Structure formats: structure tokens, C-alpha cells
Structure 1
Amino acid sequence: MIQDEEEGPMHSRHVVLSGCSSGGKSTLLAELGRRGFAIVPEPGRRIVEEELRGDGSALPWVDLKAFANRALSLAANDRHDVPEEAGWVFFDRGFVDAAVALQHATGRAAAGVLTAYRRYHERVFLAPPWPEIFETDGERRHSLAEASAEYDRLLKAYRELDYETVILPKVSVEERADFVLRTLR
């Protein structure tokens, strides 16, 4: 089903998992994929992997504006390339996250950037900061404090954009997946 302006975001089967870096989003995405749902990996991770193999000019810790612009483009392509299907499609972040990063880097309002894009499902699931599982690595270099500040920006932006924000509980990945699916019923 293709979403048009008359159908609105509730009819979209494209669901975003967003929130704090290292909050368990990718693990949850993998669990939903294991259960047979269509999944789309995080644009930012894919960009960082590519940039680390190349000149590294669009890394978030080098040039956040360039990184956010690439993430916005990649997320828009992901959304375009994944048709609305009978079942749920889960996105690890999306173009709203990229627009919020661009706003943070440039001051350009995320709402203005997003007018060109169809909305995701009205419910967005946010992973809160979870210090007990937080880790950095070669692709995720920011601190828990920086990740928590990003979470606060995302929570505020999704609410201002009239998405229903659902905070994921700090439970096992299986219980989180059950929670997401139960919430979408």
C-alpha cells in the first residue's frame, strides 16, 4: 500500500526505531528481522563504515553537516526503495534522525527539511539512554553524555513533528520485540 496525503501516517507500515546510540536499537532490529519482518539498517552506521574505508570526510566527528546530509539522502533512498507492504517494515533510524542531526549542525529547522518526505508510521519507538549496555567502538565514538543529549533532541523533535513517541522498556531483546509488536496491534 502506498501512503498518500489522504491516508496519513497511521496507514504507513514503515516504523522507526530511534533514540539513544548504544541503546539496543540494532539488536532489536535484528530480533525483528529474525522473526521474519523486513528491516532496514541504520544509515549512519553504513556511512561511517564507508567513510572509514575512504577519505573519512563525512564522519560525524569530522563534519557533522556532511554526515547528516549523506544520512538524509541515504534514509530517503531506503524509504523509497522499500515499498509499503502488507507487513511491518522496521527502520533503524531514518530521515527524521538525519534532519535532527542537520538541525544540530546548522540550525536549519528539521521540520522544514522534512516537508519533502512522506511520514513514517505515527508511532516511533525510542531507545532511552541505558548506561548498563552503553558501549563505544570505532564507529560510535561519542560519550554517553553526548548520546543522551542526542536522545533528548530526538525525543523533542519527534514530539514536535506530531509523532507518538513510545519509549522502549529496558528489558531483554525478546521482550522489547514483543512490546513493539504488541504496541503496533
Structure 2
Amino acid sequence: MKTKRIVITGGPGSGKTALITYLEQQGYAVMHEISRDVILEAQKEGIEQLFLENPILFSEKLLEGRLKQFHEGKNCAAPILFYDRGMPDVTAYMDFVNTHYPENFSETCLEHKYDEVFVLPPWEEIYKQDNERYESFEQAEKIFHFLKNGYENYGYKIYEVPVGTIKERAQSIISTIKLKTI
């Protein structure tokens, strides 16, 4: 049986990480977001906001890490593997900041496809800024649209996850996945 690769994405502060953590607690296999690791690594080297100071380098590190996760997913024996963001997030963010990126970014996204993509909409009531999340809520709303368009441009059908409790959101995703396998 082939493992279904499911991306959960959305703008900053939309509840992705909490949802991924919940799914993991429910016994699902997950690949966690790596951008905070990249940010913290750069901060240890004295670069406060790598994405703002060198967006190409930051994005290369993210794409490399997410590609590594994609390949690691081949070893997953679980029927479903959730990813906290996918490779097309990288190009969507680059488009958001209107920064040209190497063609191999798009080629990588086209050559390594996920099975389903779920996007969480902006949710002001839960949005919080912190040291790694410097975007305003208004920017988070714009990023959400860039993410949707970015994945659609790579040929994905996007499923928008309704606002609700973590359990309700997880059930919405699982129900959609089950309906697709019937």
C-alpha cells in the first residue's frame, strides 16, 4: 500500500502546527515544519531574519529540507503521512515578497508531488506574532492567497479547512481523505 502524502499549509498563525501536533497525538505519521529550525540556526550565526536578509539562501535551505522530508517519506509504512508545509510553500513565499528564484525551485516542486493539499485560512482570533513569526495579520492574509495560488499553479486541488476546534479541523481533513479513497 502506498502512503498518501498530505500537506497542511496556510499563512502564519493559522493553526497548522497545533493541528499537526494533534494529528501526531492521534497516531498519524507527520513531518514537522522546518522553517523555525532554519531561522534559529541563522540567528545563532548572527543573522536575525535570514528570510528578510537573504531570501534566496533561506528558501534554498527550506527547499532542501523539505525535499529531504519528501524522500524520507518513501520509508513511511503508515497509510497517511502529514507534512507541515510542502515544497510549493517555498515558491509561494518568494512570490509573496516578489523575489525571483532559480528555475530549479519550480522544477523540484513539479517533480515531487504530494497526494492532497489542505490549506488553513487566516484566523485573527488565534494569530500571534513572535520572534520567528514577524508578519502582521494582514500579511498573513496575503500569504494565504499566495499559497493557494502557488499550489494551484502546480496543478493541485486545494481543500480549505474550516475554522474550528483542532479536533473539528482534523476530522474535516480525515473525512475528506477517506472520501477520496472510496
TM-score, reference length from structure 1: 0.85
2:90 aligned partner = 98
Instruction: Report which of the two has the higher share of helix.
Output: 2
Which structure 2 residues correspond to residues 128-167 of structure 1 after superposition, within 5 A? 128-167=121-160
Counterpart residue type for residue 164 of structure 2: V
Q: Is 1:126–1:166's contact at 8 Å kept on the other side of the alignment?
A: yes
Q: How many residues were matched structurally? A: 174
Query: Shift of the alpha carbon at 1:86?
Result: 3.7
Q: Is 2:123–2:163's contact at 8 Å kept on the other side of the alignment?
A: yes
CA distance in 2, matches of 1:60, 1:145: 18
CA distance in 2, matches of 1:146, 1:124: 21
Query: Shift of the alpha carbon at 1:58?
Result: 6.7
Deviations 1:111-147 (A, max 9, x none): 44523x32001x2110111111111001111111222
CA distance in 2, matches of 1:85, 1:13: 10
Query: Shift of the alpha carbon at 1:12?
Result: 5.3
* Percent of pairs with identical residues: 25
Instruction: Verify: 1:178 aligned to 2:177, yes or no.
Output: no
Aligned with residue 25 of structure 2, among 34, 40, 53: 34
Q: 1:108 to 1:101 in 2, by over 3 A?
A: farther
1:89 aligned partner = 81
Q: Is 1:129–1:151's contact at 8 Å kept on the other side of the alignment?
A: yes
3-state DSSP of counterpart to 2:9: strand
Q: Is 1:99–1:113's contact at 8 Å kept on the other side of the alignment?
A: no
Q: Is 1:18–1:92's contact at 8 Å kept on the other side of the alignment?
A: yes
3-state DSSP of counterpart to 1:124: strand
Q: Is 1:69–1:102's contact at 8 Å kept on the other side of the alignment?
A: no
Query: Shift of the alpha carbon at 1:101?
Result: 2.5
Which structure 2 residues correspond to residues 38-53 of structure 1 after superposition, within 5 A? 38-53=29-44
Q: Is 1:129–1:147's contact at 8 Å kept on the other side of the alignment?
A: yes
3-state DSSP of counterpart to 1:31: helix
Which structure 2 residues correspond to residues 3-82 of structure 1 after superposition, within 5 A? 13-56=4-47, 59-82=50-73
CA distance in 1, matches of 2:3, 2:79: 10
Deviations 1:55-109 (A, max 9, x none): 3277212222211111111100111122243421111102111122344421556
Cα RMSD for the two superposed structures:
2.0
* Structure 1, unaligned runs of 5 or more: 2-10
Deviations 1:18-52 (A, max 9, x none): 11110000000000000111111112122112222
TM-score, reference length from structure 2: 0.87
